[in-house]
Structures are given as structure tokens and as C-alpha cells.
């Protein structure tokens, strides 16, 4: 996350970064323009020189945030040649992001900020199409998972499970809950789909990546 105190940032960048921090902690419904001004030590007049209203400020702040999330996921996908390693690391990253958010953020967007919620939906679609499905296809073609696997369907199920967390259908109260959900939603289904060849690779290599992924979720 951008350090909004960094003096090299422009005032507009500081405003966006601080608004983002507040949004992710408390949700759009609970953050006011006064909160943004107070945190930065600026007047409302200064704030309105850059953003005409709360809706515009929050949209631009979240748009930048979604862009960085997509870049991070694309980077993980491009840096890891092994498809199982990619999947484990990408979803561990997603769960670590959830661990830093208020569970109410996406619900607020869905109810009151449809444009920002639509961009969030586009981010999920990009991740499924360009990250998860290609990795699952590689596992399938290499004979590591059962031949009946339908990559798009499994990717959509992963997304549906995570959406239940995001929307508050499945309650979670912190790090340990998310680790358990990560294992039950992602790890256990993947392991259950492995062929004997896949099981050998799991024992040899992928189990280590699993442990690394779990450890990454423990970072505050």
C-alpha cells in the first residue's frame, strides 16, 4: 500500500492513498470527507480542489487499488512457472488481502458504489480468465489432475467460495479463520483432484509451497 506520508508524493496522491487506507479499514459508508481531511491535516477547501465529492474520491482511490492488485496477481502468475505453485501463491495472496480488509468493504460498494463494484467484478473476471484457468489447464494437460476436471468451472467455484467470505455469508474474524478457509476452499479440493502423478509431485515439491503459502497468510 502506498505510504501517504511520503513527502515525494503529490497532494493528490496523498489524498488517494489516505482515502484508500480509511476505505479498506472501515468501508465507504463509514468514511467521510472530514475523516480524510483530518488524517492529512488539510482543509475541505483543499480537498475539494482535487476531488469534487466523496463518490469521485472513493472511486479513484479504489480504482488505483484494484489496478495494483491486478498487477500483483499478474506478477505472481508470470514469475512462477509451476502451475500448482502459481495457484497456491495467487490464492494465498488473495486471502492475505482479505486479512487486511474490513469484511464490510465490498458490501458497501455493492450497495452504494456500483461503478467501483463493477470494477471489482472485472478484476475477478480477469483473474479467473488470465491466471486461474491457464494454471489449471496446465495441470490438466500434464496429467497432474483428473481428466474430467473442467478448469473454468473449478475457477468459478473458487470465486464463489471467496465471494461468500467477502459478502459476509461465511463469517471470519481474523487470520486463523482465513487460513482454515484457504485450506478448505482451495488446498483440499485441489489435492483431492490429483492423479497418482500429481500426488508424487505434491509430496516432492508442492507440499513445500503449501507450507509457504500458509506462512504468508500469517504475516500481519
Percent share of the chain, pLDDT over 90: 62
- For 22-33, what is the mean pLDDT? 91
Q: Identify whether the C-beta of residue 165 lies closer than 8 Å to the C-beta of residue 98.
A: yes
How many Cα atoms sit within 13 Å of 126 on the Cβ side? 15
Percent share of the chain, pLDDT over 70: 96
**Residue 150 DSSP code:** -
Residue 80 in this model has a pLDDT that exceeds 60: yes
Residues 29 and 32: their CA atoms lie apart, in Å, by 8
* Phi, psi (deg, nearest 5) at residue 123: -60, -45
Domains of the chain by range and CATH? 63-217 (1.10.357)
Residue 64 in this model has a pLDDT that exceeds 90: yes
- Which of 55-69, 122-136, 165-179 is predicted least confidently? 165-179
Amino acid at each position: 500500500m502506498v505510504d501517504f506520508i511520503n513527502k515525494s508524493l503529490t497532494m493528490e496522491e496523498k489524498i488517494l492513498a489516505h482515502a484508500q487506507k480509511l476505505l479498506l479499514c472501515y468501508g465507504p459508508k463509514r468514511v467521510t470527507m472530514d475523516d480524510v481531511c483530518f488524517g492529512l491535516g488539510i482543509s475541505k477547501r483543499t480537498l475539494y480542489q482535487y476531488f469534487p465529492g466523496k463518490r469521485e474520491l472513493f472511486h479513484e482511490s479504489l480504482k488505483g487499488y484494484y489496478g495494483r492488485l491486478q498487477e500483483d496477481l499478474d506478477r505472481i502468475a508470470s514469475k512462477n512457472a509451476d502451475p500448482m505453485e502459481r495457484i497456491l501463491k495467487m490464492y494465498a495472496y488473495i486471502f492475505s488481502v482479505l486479512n487486511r480488509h474490513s469484511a464490510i468493504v465490498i458490501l458497501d460498494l455493492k450497495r452504494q458504489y456500483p461503478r467501483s463494484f463493477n470494477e471489482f467484478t472485472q478484476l475477478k473476471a480477469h483473474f479467473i480468465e488470465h491466471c486461474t484457468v491457464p494454471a489449471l489447464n496446465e495441470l490438466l494437460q500434464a496429467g497432474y489432475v483428473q481428466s474430467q476436471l473442467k478448469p473454468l468451472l473449478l475457477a468459478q467455484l473458487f470465486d464463489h467460495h471467496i465471494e461468500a467470505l467477502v459478502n459476509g455469508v461465511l463469517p471470519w474474524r481474523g487470520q486463523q479463520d482465513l487460513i482454515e478457509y484457504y485450506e478448505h476452499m482451495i488446498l483440499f479440493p485441489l489435492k483431492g483432484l490429483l492423479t497418482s502423478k500429481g500426488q508424487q509431485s505434491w509430496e516432492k515439491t508442492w507440499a513445500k509451497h503449501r507450507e509457504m503459502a500458509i506462512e504468508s497468510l500469517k504475516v500481519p
